[in-house]
Amino acid sequence: MSMQHSPFLPPARLGVMGGGQLGRMFVHAAQAMGFKVAVLEAAPDSPAGHAADSLIAADYSDAQALAQLGQSCVAVTTEFENVPADSLRLLATHAFVAPGADCVAIAQDRIAEKRFLAGCAALSGVPPAPHKTIAALDDIESIEDLLLPGILKTVRMGYDGKGQAVVRTRDDVRAAFAAMGGVTCLLEKMLPLAYEVSVLTARGADGESVVYPIAENVHRDGILFTTTVPGPNVSLESAGKAQQAAKVIVDELAYVGVLCIEFFVLTDGSLVVNEMAPRPHNSGHYTMDACVTSQFAQQVRAMARLPLGDVRQHSPAVMLNLLGDIWFASGSETPTEPAWAELLALPGACLHLYGKEAARRGRKMGHVTFIAPTLAQAQAQLAAACTILGIPA
């Protein structure tokens, strides 16, 4: 390992931009390895802020706060993609920043992301869906028939199904474009989807990369519902193709850190790359209990320029997102704590709650992963958990 990539060792201080649950789990992983952690987050009360060694309560673009974070930390990462890229550039004048501003900027802008993924297709063999930029009403007139029906998505700030609409006709596009305030959007052709998979990958500053096993995802109302690994529908061929494409993408970005790439597997078995998240991902939470190295420990290793960890999965796993809805399972408007004791009585149950103050419908409050000797056993425990928690299976 060259001096250029000499590692940062505990008890050095690592920084994270963002106070959410991904930041909280990063803090826990970093502290377990002996690092100190500073969080920059405007909210004085946040999941990551509670767990960190120090909190800088400031806006993500506050120059003074960024200087304070950069000067007190050897390396800084981000726990969600909407941190201003300019803030990461400023931080890079003080500390090692992973992932870098340019990588995060691509993932923040659906047009830049699609352009980048299309550019990788010659090497990766996996193209994005057919698409078109909709920036003005004239663009709607020139939509080709083959792009409809489609999904209209805002170019920036969309996640968990927000900022998007299904459109079947040009009139639908006009109405959706107007409803989104006329901001620049991307129209994507709706494809015959068999299932969705995500590939979690990590790359070090020395260019070495690792790819985790393929995760098969089920969404409800635009929010991840379950992740199953190994994916029951994923063929070895599809898995190999997606993993190879992920390696190409992470190398082409010259990325350092953990990157999650979502793919669609179509009904004819072909693969399409959907989008990427420049951080650990909801679908990677199973790694905390089922893999040698969790996605968060991997994030620590990458930013500290340490050797990447073993991605081997030692147990089949099914992860269930726990949304605030289960606090209101009886239909009442007064939240009641779910039956955690019953849930934890299930074999292989690993419960992770995020320390959020108030449960709200649709809010990610935690997750539970079931690990078992066989996938069928893990799936049986998931079904039992849904019954206990009042979640329609």
| Helix, strand, or coil (residue 289) | helix
Answer whether residue 82 shows pLDDT above 60. Answer: yes
Which residues lie closer than 8 Å to 291 by C-beta, 6 or more apart?
212, 213, 310, 311, 312, 313, 314
Closest CA to 81 of 14, 160, 5: 160
356 annotated as ligand-binding: no
150 phi, psi to nearest 5 deg = -150, -170
Q: Would the annotation count 252 as a binding residue? A: no
Which pLDDT belongs to residue 389? 96
Q: Examine the pLDDT at 1 and tell me if it is beyond 50.
A: no
Q: Is 301 annotated as a binding residue?
A: no
Residue 2: CA atoms inside 13 Å, Cβ hemisphere, count? 5
Q: Nearest-CA neighbor of 113 among 64, 155, 173? A: 155
Domain ranges in the chain?
3-97, 130-189, 193-389
| Domain range 3-97, CATH architecture | 3-Layer(aba) Sandwich (3.40)
Residue 60 marked in a binding site: no
163 marked ligand binding residue: yes
Q: Does residue 312 have a known ligand-binding role?
A: no
Q: Is 190 annotated as a binding residue?
A: yes
Name, of 135-144, 242-251, 330-339, the range with top average pLDDT: 242-251
The predicted-structure confidence for 255-309, as pLDDT tens digits, reads as follows 999 999 999 999 999 999 999 999 999 999 999 999 999 999 999 999 999 999 9
Question: Does the structure show a pLDDT above 80 at 18?
Answer: yes
342 annotated among ligand-binding-site residues: no
The answer to whether 114 is a known ligand-binding residue is: no
Q: Between the CA of residue 121 and those of 129, 153, 217, 257, what are the distances in Å?
A: 11, 22, 23, 22
Binding residue per annotation — 191?
yes
Is-contact 277 215, C-beta < 8 A? Answer: no
pLDDT tens digits, residue range 39-55? 999 999 999 999 999 99
Q: Write down the pLDDT at residue 162.
A: 65
Phi, psi (rounded to 5 degrees) for 312: -60, 135
Residue 160 has pLDDT above 60, yes or no: no
Q: Are 345 and 332 in contact (CB under 8 A)?
A: no
Q: What does the pLDDT look like over 52-75, one tens digit per residue?
A: 999 999 999 999 999 999 999 999
What's the whole-number average pLDDT of the chain?
95
pTM, two decimal places: 0.94
Measure Cα distances from 80 to 157, 184, 199, 260 in Å. 11, 22, 17, 12
DSSP class of residue 128? B
Q: Is 108 annotated as a binding residue?
A: no
Residue 330 pLDDT exceeds 80: no
**Is 164 assigned to a binding site?**
yes
Q: Is 247 annotated as a binding residue?
A: no
Name the CATH topology of 193-389: D-amino Acid Aminotransferase; Chain A, domain 1 (3.30.470)
pLDDT value at 127 more than 80: yes
Radius of gyration of the chain measured on its C-alpha atoms: 21
Burial tier of 66 (Cβ tally within 10 Å: 0-12, 13-18, 19+): buried
196 labeled part of a ligand binding site: yes
Say whether 130-189 and 3-97 share the same fold: no
Mean pLDDT of 10-36: 98
Report yes or no: 285 and 212 within 8 Å, Cβ to Cβ: no
Mean pLDDT, range 310-335, rounded to an integer: 93
- 64 among the known binding-site residues? no
pLDDT digits (tens, 9 = 90+) for 336-354: 999 999 999 999 999 999 9
Distance, CA of 170 to CA of 341 (rounded, Å): 52
What's the confidence (pLDDT) of residue 163? 80
CATH topology of domain 130-189: Dna Ligase; domain 1 (3.30.1490)
Residue 226 has pLDDT above 60, yes or no: yes
Token look-up 């030692």 returns 314
